[in-house]
């Protein structure tokens, strides 16, 4: 069995359905379909489409990503196995709350790895890089994906250290029945309002549900964890956490240690000493690790050319970008993109 749909006006994409009813994309068939479209355009004198197969793949990915929100659809809810993210690095501009209902999986959020089991709550904040590295056949999650605007509206009164605490503790396995009832109740409510598309207050209700979750989580964090655990046990721990948060925000445009030292109002030497003590690595290595992760996402999940990526990430030229990437990964950007295609 197969399903067909159009991307924009003239690009027909065919999805075949496997034995278990899960849709999957046959890359060869997409290549063939793309070629057929080009022939059809010539026969009927249609204007030639611009862009490469990578561009087509990106547009298709945006349609298939279950966690991606849009301006027209600022929140989504449902059940999925996250197959779309398998061995792919995807940067989500929006956030997502997930709850594992069956099976096991290994995921990465930014540079951190997590093992997921039933009753595990997964919190992905906006602009995080997410990937599924392995999963059992019965792995399933409920999800509530929300736009960056909804996230900001829900959290505008909450302390920045709390948001950073959530980012550092993205996964938590619940054992208490009360906590399980709370999270499952939220998921069920978000699913119900998502399906009720005719509700004139749909977005407002979803916004309120998200705010309730963050307020409830904030209350539990404040009661169950000490201020030292949330903000850092000492001055060095606090500075290290702030440094990681700054790198996550600015690594695309700022890769000089001096910039981060200035933001923290400390010397570069002291910042380097802190990162070696707290993170067992140098400040520069942490910056480069985050930047390489961003570059991998750009190579794997966008249709940007190597030259465009070099310009976007402020490399002097494409050659310098290639040498930097190969130094840190052992392969050229072109080879990495071909391997992940």
Q: Residue 59: what pLDDT?
A: 55
- In order, the DSSP letters of 165-234 are HHHHT-EEE--SHHHHHHHHHHHHHHHHHHH-TT-TTHHHHHHHHHHHHHHHHHHHHHHHS-HHHHH-SS
Q: Is the pLDDT of residue 168 over 90?
A: no
Residue 134 in tokens: 């392995």
Domain boundaries, the chain: 2-64, 75-225, 235-340
Q: What is the CATH class of 75-225?
A: mainly beta
Q: Residues 302-331: pLDDT tens digits?
A: 888 999 999 999 999 999 999 999 999 999
For 14, the 3-state DSSP assignment is strand
CA distance 304 to 293: 16
Task: Provide the mean pLDDT of the chain.
Answer: 82
Percent of the chain residues topping a pLDDT of 70: 80
Q: Does residue 4 surpass a pLDDT of 80?
A: no
Strands (E), 18-104: 23-24, 75-80, 90-92, 95-102
User: Which CATH superfamily does the domain covering 235-340 fall into?
Assistant: Homeodomain-like (1.10.10.60)
What value does the mean pLDDT take over residues 161-186? 84
Judge whether residue 184 has pLDDT over 60.
yes
Report DSSP state, residue 72: S
**pLDDT at residue 179 tops 90:** no
Distance CA 143, CA 132 (A): 15
Q: What is the mean pLDDT of residues 227-245?
A: 79
Element (H, E) at 163: helix 160-168
Q: Which residues contact 23 (CB under 8 A, 6 or more apart)?
A: 3, 15, 16, 17
Burial class (CB in 10 A: 0-12, 13-18, 19+), 28: exposed
pLDDT value, residue 62: 60
Is 113:106 a contact under the CB 8 Å cutoff? Answer: yes
- Residue 316 neighbours by CB under 8 Å, 6+ apart: none
Q: By CB neighbour count within 10 A (0-12 exposed, 13-18 middle, 19+ buried), where does 272 fall?
A: middle
pLDDT at position 192 over 90: yes
In this prediction, residues 234-255 reach a mean pLDDT of: 87
- Give whichever of 63-72, 227-236, 317-326 has the largest mean pLDDT: 317-326
Residue 25: its pLDDT value, please?
46
- Write down the pLDDT at residue 203: 92
Encoding tokens for residue 300?
A: 């794997």
């Amino acid at each position: 069995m197969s399903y067909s749909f159009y991307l924009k006006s003239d690009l027909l994409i065919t999805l075949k359905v496997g034995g278990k009813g899960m849709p999957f994309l046959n890359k060869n068939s997409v290549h063939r379909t793309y070629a057929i479209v080009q022939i059809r355009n010539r026969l009927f004198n249609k204007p030639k489409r611009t862009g490469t197969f990578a561009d087509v793949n990106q547009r298709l990915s945006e349609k298939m990503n279950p966690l991606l929100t849009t301006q027209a659809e600022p929140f989504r809810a449902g059940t999925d196995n996250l197959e779309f993210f398998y061995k792919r690095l995807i940067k989500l501009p929006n956030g997502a709350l997930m709850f594992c209902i069956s099976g096991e999986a290994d995921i990465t959020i930014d540079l951190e790895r997590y093992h997921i089991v039933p009753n595990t709550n997964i919190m992905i904040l906006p602009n995080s890089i997410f990937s599924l590295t392995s999963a059992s056949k019965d792995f399933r999650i409920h999800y509530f994906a929300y736009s960056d605007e909804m996230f900001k509206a829900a959290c505008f009164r909450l302390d920045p250290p709390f948001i950073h605490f959530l980012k550092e503790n993205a996964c938590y396995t619940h054992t208490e029945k009360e906590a399980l009832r709370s999270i499952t109740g939220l998921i069920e409510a978000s699913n119900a309002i998502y399906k009720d598309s005719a509700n004139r207050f749909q977005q407002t209700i979803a916004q309120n549900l998200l705010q309730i979750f963050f307020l409830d989580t904030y209350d539990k964090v404040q009661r169950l964890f000490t201020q030292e655990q949330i903000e850092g046990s000492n001055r060095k721990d606090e500075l290290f956490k702030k440094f990681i948060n700054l790198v996550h925000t600015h690594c695309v445009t700022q890769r000089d240690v001096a910039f981060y030292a200035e933001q923290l109002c400390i010397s570069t030497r002291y910042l380097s000493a802190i990162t070696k003590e707290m993170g067992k690595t140098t400040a520069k290595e942490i910056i480069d690790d985050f930047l390489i992760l961003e570059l991998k996402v750009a190579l794997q999940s966008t249709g940007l050319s190597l030259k465009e990526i070099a310009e976007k990430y402020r490399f002097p030229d494409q050659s310098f970008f290639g040498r930097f990437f190969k130094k840190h990964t052992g392969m050229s950007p072109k080879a990495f993109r071909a391997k992940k295609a």
